[in-house]
Chain A
Amino acid sequence: MTAALTSATAEAGAPPPPPRGSSRIAWLLLTPGLAYLVLFFVAPVAVLLLTSLYERVPDGPVGATRPALRWENYTDALVTYAPQFGRSFLYAFIATVLALAIGYPLAYVIAVRCRNRPLLQGLLLVLVIAPFFTSFILRTIAWKQILADESLVVAVLKTISLLPDDARLTATPTAVVAGLTYNFLPFMTLPIYANLERLDLRLIEAGEDLYANPAETFRRVTLPLSMPGIVAGSLLTFIPAAGDYVNSALLGTASTAMIGNVIDSRFFRVVDYPTAAALSVLLMAAILLLVAAYVRRSGTDDLL
């Protein structure tokens, strides 16, 4: 997530090293931020880690746990919920790829093609951001209504035989992935836009001068230059999508449950805090590993 923020400074070149005397003031200025992080990030994660090793009090009240080092919480959680883990990462991956396929051209048109028409550019940007004005839960519920079995959409698709008579659009894995893609599309589009907006068109001209066709220019000039935007967008899409539970709860079925749904039900329905905490830690670890591997592969380590 810091990628988007740091990319600006990374490209502007490293600032000159600060004079030594100011380091005390720097620390003073950093204190509120650090205190905030310790209080609201480090402490909760520590509690989460501890809770994930607790054990249930035999014959105790519902939800009662006691401190222990029960590592089986992790193996049990992993074995029991492997399908939901796999599903979460698969859905999030497909949604990220789809969002990239939709978001990149969109960002390109807004940032490059509309560069000389600021009014149109502004309008298109507003359209990308507009969905944020409504809660995404409401928007997802709206989709559920639009794609309902008795809806016009389904009726038309069935009439023109694009959809078999006994098929449906909601309560399917496709609906969940589509919901994820839809809900996280702006998170993909905006970082790529921010990046392409600063693309130096003279470089593309230079590519053309050197007899590269448009496809070649895109592959060798535009794409590598926009890589930081793509990485930032992918992370902003993949990470929340992997932990999302709203889309699956509203658009899915029992067989599309993602790991977020399991954590929710363990925390609130079953009041099984250790398992829920272990699942949360596993999800965090898995995402960290995947993200690290991805960033390394895409050759943008310097972003993190």
Chain B
Amino acid sequence: MTPRRTPPSSLPPEVRDLIALHNRSRVSRRSVLRGAGALGLGAFLAACGTPGSGGGAPPAGGPATAAGPTPAQDVSATEKTVAWANWTLYLDYDDATQTYPTLEAFKQQTGIDASYSEDIDGNDTYYGKIQGQLANGQDIGKDIVVFTDWMAGRMVSMGYTQQLDKAKIPNAANLRPQLQNVDFDPGRANTLTWQSGFAGIAWNKEQVPGGLRTVSDLWNPELRGRVEVLDEYRDTLGLIMMEQGVDISSPQWGSNEFGAAVDVLNEQIASGQIRQVKGNSYKEDLIAGDAVAVIGWSGDITQINAENGDKWEFAIPEAGGTLWSDNMMVPIGARHKANAETLMNYYYDPAVAATVAAYVNYVCPVQGAQEAMQQVDPELVSDTSIFPDEATLAKVKIFRSLTPQEETDFGGQFQSTIGN
């Protein structure tokens, strides 16, 4: 669910220097992307990987029981380190010094040597990579990992996470009320939100001058063959279900409601209305002109607008959109939980959160960050893609947690519908 962005860190040094030239005063993600955009196709292509490959998944599935391994001994008191694995372009980065300014400040402030790596490029692939070690309670070498809601839920229910000591994270009280009590982790005992975003509809303003208001507008015959939807069913089918009047966050709905949404998707794929069902690469199709209207992610549209001129518009459909989050958690075998908690507490400081938000441009989950943004970048205080207003928040819902059986069935049904 988390958009995978063009990672400047994977570019050769000379290209990075070029990008740095573009960042004169303020290093924000937008300006980095503008630099990357200027490099054109090369940088753009460098971001693409093998879809769904990689991940040394163990051969024989998960363990049969969820009894789970036991947490590792915490050696934080003697070893002042913490290792954090995150998605690409998800923390403020300074090209000139090649460091993460907020993380540097954390090191100085606390004396904890924090290491950061952009290891995660997909929920499925990263989970596949670490799942074998987690099942045996081994240390994966990371003290904090970041997963999207549904995968975070799987981690928690499998017993692959350590319970957080909230006394050590007083700033956790700053978490947005809407995110404080999620069904996959009641009371946020094991996880804390890193960033959030919306799934909604987006269109090319030139090709679709009238704009779109509902998901059904995507099925307009004039758009035939130029519509793309996400390969994350919680977003694509979530939006269709909301259009059909289902409250996706309520436990009331089941396979009938899901099936009704699958039928709509199936019909639109069979008729050729939907060109392709895609992950992150729908952005490339919007840029190339293959797609003119999509179900997509808010942050992506901000990004491609910054790169290619303000050509697209994003909206939450009238019937509602989805709200997803990426969540920090401490894996079961991690040996520096207390240090990890200190780090989480630091990033829930509104001023620090505002600095990060100014770079990543996602929905900031920390209350008070909007006020703190005044000091960081006054322009962004009223940016609704970072600080959505009440009206927007009222329109989005979090897709409810699925039972393991549902997850297998729904996932299978969706994959069959999209041809796999």
Q: Answer yes or no: B63 CB below 8 A from chain A CBs.
A: yes
8 Å CB interface, A154-180 against B: 166, 168, 170-171
Size of chain A's interface in residues, with CB distance under 8 A? 55
Closest residue on chain B to residue A80 by CB atoms: B416
Q: Answer yes or no: A33 CB below 8 A from chain B CBs.
A: no
Q: Answer yes or no: A115 CB below 8 A from chain B CBs.
A: no
Question: Are B419 and A255 within 8 A (Cβ)?
Answer: yes
Q: Which of B276, B404, B420 contacts A171 (CB 8 A)?
A: B276
CA distance A261 to B276 in the complex (A): 14
Q: Answer yes or no: B41 CB below 8 A from chain A CBs.
A: yes
Number of A-B contacts (CB under 8 A): 147
CA distance A142 to B415 in the complex (A): 26
Question: Are A257 and B419 within 8 A (Cβ)?
Answer: yes
Size of chain B's interface in residues, with CB distance under 8 A? 50
Q: Which residues of A contact B412 (CB under 8 A)?
A: 270, 272
Question: Are A62 and B276 within 8 A (Cβ)?
Answer: no
Q: Which residues of A contact B403 (CB under 8 A)?
A: 59
CA distance A246 to B290 in the complex (A): 19
Q: Answer yes or no: A253 CB below 8 A from chain B CBs.
A: yes
CA distance A65 to B157 in the complex (A): 17
Q: Which of B64, B226, B275, B416 contacts A64 (CB 8 A)?
A: B64
Q: Which residues of B contact A57 (CB under 8 A)?
A: 64
CA distance A145 to B59 in the complex (A): 37
8 Å CB interface, B39-74 against A: 41, 45, 48-53, 55, 57, 59-66
Q: Which residues of B contact A270 (CB under 8 A)?
A: 408, 411-412, 415
CA distance A255 to B276 in the complex (A): 9
Question: Are A56 and B420 within 8 A (Cβ)?
Answer: no
Q: Which residues of B contact A273 (CB under 8 A)?
A: 59-61
Contacts A149-B289, A171-B290 given: A269-B124 contact, CB under 8 Å? Answer: yes
16 contacts between A and B (CB under 8 A): A60-B65, A61-B66, A80-B416, A148-B285, A151-B289, A166-B225, A249-B51, A254-B419, A255-B419, A257-B418, A262-B415, A264-B420, A268-B55, A269-B415, A269-B420, A273-B61
The 7 closest A-B CB pairs, nearest first, are A150-B289, A257-B419, A254-B419, A65-B61, A265-B420, A148-B288, A63-B62
Excluding A262-B420, A266-B420, A273-B60, 16 further A-B contacts by CB distance (< 8 Å) are A54-B61, A56-B408, A61-B62, A61-B157, A64-B61, A64-B63, A141-B48, A145-B284, A166-B224, A253-B276, A255-B419, A264-B53, A268-B52, A268-B55, A268-B125, A270-B411
